[in-house]
Amino acid sequence: MYIKCWGSRGSISVSGREYAEFGGDTTCLEVIAKTGEVIIIDAGTGIRRLGKSLVRRKASEYFMLLTHTHWDHILGISFFAPLLYKENRLVIQDRKFDGLSTRQVFENVMRPPFFPIKLTDFDADLYFDPSLNQKFTIGSIEVEAIPTSHSEDSMGYKFTEEGKSFVFLTDNELGYDHPQSQGAEAYVNFARGADILFHDAEYTQEEYKDKIGWGHSSVSDVLDLAVKAGVGQLGLIHLNQDRTDAQMKEMVRQSCRILENRARKTGAPPISCFGVPSDLELSL
Ligand SMILES: [Zn+2]
Ligand SMILES: [Zn+2]
């Protein structure tokens, strides 16, 4: 599968020279199956650039999954250019978010006084598909979901194709059990042996002391998870809105050092660790 990050910032989009390297757009990933299906995960502001790319590539059918519906994960939907064209078909995961269906969530984003255009004003064919839940297949990719320790109905996903897997756990607080948390052990099991894990690393260990219960992880808890799960590569994502490029690089440098030390002690292969920038492309 092919993976591209179109936005890795958490909580709110940012701009400015100090964020240029990791980017300012909020969560949006694109996964393409070897059989060609395009899967979009989250509709943060990064989906604006993805939409333009899909129009340029003349791709006309896409699947959309949501981790949850906090603003940073849905606010780009109104600027998703493929919605303007009637030849495009968007198959959207249909599920409940705190009692609202996915359609109702998008209708609420696109209505006065918040936005001048309604969801029904767009020409693309939208199909809300209830089968895209828990465990399902899109083309050659098997998808599995797990509730995250964050908010009601927040989900993480595992994408598996030809024995290779990519796990995406954003907005997941490993150090605190929110009501639907599955417990730290369950997240280890979910990520076990993943070739690539992207995990919420919103806080440094120091910052986290004042943010317990805010729904995001400290990077040290993420490193623990990656080691216990024995993942191949670890991408730190849901970048804090105040984290500059220089600070992000320092977080990655320290994380790599910790992982290398651990690998030296256990004899296990070292996990390669990086901060996930906008525009990162990976293949499995
Ligand atoms: Zn978020
Ligand atoms: Zn959230």
Long-range own/partner contacts, residues 102-106 (CB < 8 A, 24 or more apart):
102/66, 102/128, 103/128, 105/69, 105/74, 106/74, 106/77
Going by pLDDT thresholds of 50, 70 and 90, the confidence category of residue 268 is confident
Domain ranges of the chain: 2-283
- Over residues 227-240, the pLDDT tens digits come to 999 999 999 999 99
pTM of the model: 0.97
Ligand positioned closest to the Cα atom of 42: 1
Residue 267 CA, ligand 1 centroid: distance in Å? 35
Q: How far is the CA of 70 from the centre of ligand 2 (A)?
A: 5
For all residues of the chain together, what is the average pLDDT?
97
Exposure string for 93-127, b = 16+ CB within 10 A, e = fewer: bebebeeeebeebbeebbeeeeeeeebeebebebe
Tens digit of pLDDT for each residue in 47-101? 999 999 999 999 999 999 999 999 999 999 999 999 999 999 999 999 999 999 9
68 CA from centroid of ligand 2 (Å)? 7
Cα of 88 vs centre of ligand 2, distance in Å, is 29
Question: Looking at domain 2-283, which of 1.10.287.810, 3.60.15.10, 3.40.640.10, 3.40.50.170 is its CATH number?
Answer: 3.60.15.10
Q: Which ligand is nearest to the CA of 150?
A: 2
The CA 11 to ligand 1 mean position distance, Å, reads: 5
